[in-house]
Structure formats: C-alpha cells, structure tokens
Amino acid sequence: MTFSSFAPGRVELLGNHTDYNEGVILSAAINLGITAVGNPRSDHRINLSSSGNPDATVVGDPAMFEPSHGWANYPLGVVKTLTLAGHSIRGFEAHFESNLPTGTGLSSSAALEVAAGSLLRKMFALDIEPMELARICRRAENDFVGVNCGLLDPASSVFGRRDHAIFLDCRTESLTLIPIPSGAALLLIHSGVKHELTGGEYNNRREACFAAAAQLGIPALRDTTSPAVEISNLPDEIKRRALHITGENERVFHAADFLRAGDLVSFGRLMTASHESSRVNFENSTPELDTLVKLAVATDGIYGARLTGGGFGGAIVALADPDLMDEASESIISRYHALTAHQGIAYRCTIGDGAILAA
Ligand code: GLA
C-alpha cells in the first residue's frame, strides 16, 4: 500500500529568534513544500530518494548523522528520533519531491522532516499528536542534524492553515490561527545570497540570548521587557541581542491585535521595525537584505518588509497590496539589481495548509 504526505515551507511574519527564548511568533505555512510518497517494507531496509539528489540506503536503525547521506539525514533523523521516542518503525521506501527553494529561509529542512514524519505516522499508524510530531522534527534537527533551531519551523509546517497566520507561544506550546484580511498578500524576494544556518552564527546568537537571561537572573528573555533591558547594566552587545528578542515579543503581541482588526498599515510598520532591530540589535541581516527592505518599503503597495527566518542571507518577506504586488515586485527587483548587481528572485506564494490539513 502506498502512502503520501505534504509538508509546506513557512514564512516567519514576526518574532525573529524568539522561539528558543520561550517567546511568541507570527508565521504562516506557504503553498510551496515537500511531498513524500512511500510504502512499508517487510524487512529493515530504508531506501530514500529525491529527484536530483543522490539516493540513500540504511539497514536498521540510522545510527548517526552521516555527511555522505546529505539531504537524507533529515528524514533519517526523524526515523531515529521516532525510534528513540518508543515508536516502532520497520523498513520502508520513500521518495521526496520539493518545489520549495533551499537557502531562502523558508525552512526547507523542517518541511523535509515534517514530510517524513507525517509519512511515517500514516505508514506505521503511529499514535502521535500533531504538536508531538512538531517536537520530534525539532529534536531530529537539534540532536541528529546538529542545528539548535526552535519550534517555529516544524510547528508552522504541521499546523498552517490556508489564509491564516499562526500565533505560536513557544513557552506554553499553544497555537492560535488568525485569519489574514483579504487585502493582504505576501511577497517573498530572495536576495540571491544564500542563507546557511549551519554557519555557527545562529548558535552564537542563541548563546548570547541565554547569557543575557542568565545575567539578568531570569529563566528566559520571555520574562523581561524592553524598558527593563534598556536600564539593565548588560554589556552593549548582549543588551542589543536581548532588546531584539524583547522587542520582537512586544511587536508580535501588537501585530496579532492589528491583524485581528484588519489594520495592515500598522502591521506592516511593525515588520519594518523588526527588520531595523535585526540590522542594528541582532546583527543577523546582510547589506543585501537591508537594501531589499529599504527598496520595498519605499514602493507603492508595500505595507512593510523584513528578513524572514534565521537571517545572514536568504529572503525578505513583504506585506503587499495584492493589486499592486506584481508592479511592486518588478520595480524592487530591477532597482536591487542596479544597486547590488545581485539577481533577486520573487516568489508570489499564497498561505497554504500545513501537514495535518494537506492531503
Ligand atoms: C530559523 C530557525 C527557527 C527560528 C528562526 C528565527 O528559521 O530554524 O527555529 O529560530 O531561525 O526566528
């Protein structure tokens, strides 16, 4: 019998690097993602394939991250994590197809893990709640692949819903869906400079946030506010890192209210403020992302723009008026090229369903 799953990429609307600080996030699943098709085997052999990538075969429990397995480490990490959690996985065949660009900050790695996890959940009738599936995928990435990311990516890929933003509280792990008003569309523009999370910068920022919380004597940066951080005697660099997180949490709460009220102009302003904080406080932007945001916010039909995801390259997300979006996108890309010689790529994606709703 053949089984299939689909797991989308996600766009982070606001709440940058707040997930591992037990903070809050607004995100959305997009209509681009990864489809997995497979069937169980009667032995313990795992055969993984993906168009354009080398196949991988493992017999028995995948022991550890194996560089030669490349992309297949993500599904293998999910197998390993499921096994460690006490689920019984036999051998299987699985083929993955993606229409999600990699290196954009749209979370192709989480989509691959969630596609694998959802497929195995169906194939072996595993008793796993959706939030547990998201946690398992995060653990696979943390412990097997070795990237210390938070819950944002897998939770968005699991729970997304068409035309809705996801409000995720990473402390309580509770999630609410907020309808996106009809006059809003998302424009993603890749800067042409790849985003790499394995580069060590992500883990550096994470350490800086934990150091700030420890020095403030609180469990996590979720437990303080921007005014309190301002008057603290944290050293300058750590203070700026902390201010980014407290500011992002505050912006997410305000933005959720603006979204519910249909106030896209105020929502957009918070996105642009978030980018400014990335640039100045968290220093996870790049000159190319800064240029794209600057051009975007000066363009008719754009409510606001910011980098999306980890940073250090990748894409910006802009909140746009759907009627003006095509023109805005062309104008941003041509001015970006004239200024930087980089070729920006626009993705006009819509907000789609997550793995639990998708077929
Ligand atoms: C990456 C990580 C997420 C999150 C974002 C920044 O996408 O995978 O867990 O930390 O960066 O918000």
Amino acid in position 270: L
d(CA 271, CA 289): 14
Strands 185-190, 345-347: parallel, antiparallel or unpaired by DSSP? antiparallel
pLDDT over 70 at 58, yes or no? yes
Same domain, 216 and 327: yes
pLDDT in tens, 281-301: 999 999 999 999 999 999 999
Give yes or no: residues 35 and 94 share one domain: yes
pLDDT over threshold 80, residue 198: no
Residues in contact with ligand 1 by the CB-under-6-Å rule are: 12, 16-17, 19-20, 107, 149-150, 152-153, 309-310
**How far apart are alpha carbons 319 and 264 in whole angstroms?**
8
In a domain, 64, yes or no: yes
Counted residue by residue, the chain has a size of: 359
In this structure, the residue with its CA closest to atom 4 of ligand 1 is 17
Strand 92-98 to 45-50 pairing: parallel
Tell me, yes or no, whether 205 and 285 share the same domain.
yes
Does position 7 have pLDDT exceeding 60, yes or no? Answer: yes
Contact in structure between 2 and 38 (CB atoms under 8 Å)? yes
Q: What does the pLDDT read at residue 358?
A: 80
Report yes or no on 10 lying in a domain: no
Residues 6+ apart with CB under 8 A from 52: none
Q: Which amino acid is at 339?
A: L
Q: Is 309 exposed, middle or buried (0-12, 13-18, 19+ CB in 10 A)?
A: buried
Domain boundary among 163, 190, 214: 163
Of 10, 11, 12, 30, which is best to mutate to test ligand 1, by the most ligand atoms within 8 angstroms of its C-beta? 12
Q: Which of 108, 136, 163 is the last residue of a domain?
A: 163
Query: 117 and 136 in contact (C-beta within 8 Å)?
Result: yes
Clarify whether residues 143 and 183 are in a common domain. no
DSSP state of 130: H
pTM score of the predicted model: 0.94
Q: Compute φ and ψ for 6, nearest 5 degrees.
A: -135, 135
Domains contained in the chain, number: 2
Pocket perturbation via mutation, ligand 1, pick of 74, 202, 244, 316 by most ligand atoms within 8 A of CB: 202
One domain, residues 330 and 219 = yes
Q: Which CATH number goes with the domain that contains 120? A: 3.30.230.10
- Indicate if the pLDDT at residue 195 is higher than 70: no
Domain with 65, as residue range(s), is 29-163
**Percent with pLDDT over 70 in the chain:** 98
Look at residue 146 in the predicted model and tell me its pLDDT: 86
Q: Which amino acid is at 282?
A: F
CB-based contacts of 175, cutoff 8 Å, min separation 6: 131, 155, 159, 166, 167, 168, 169
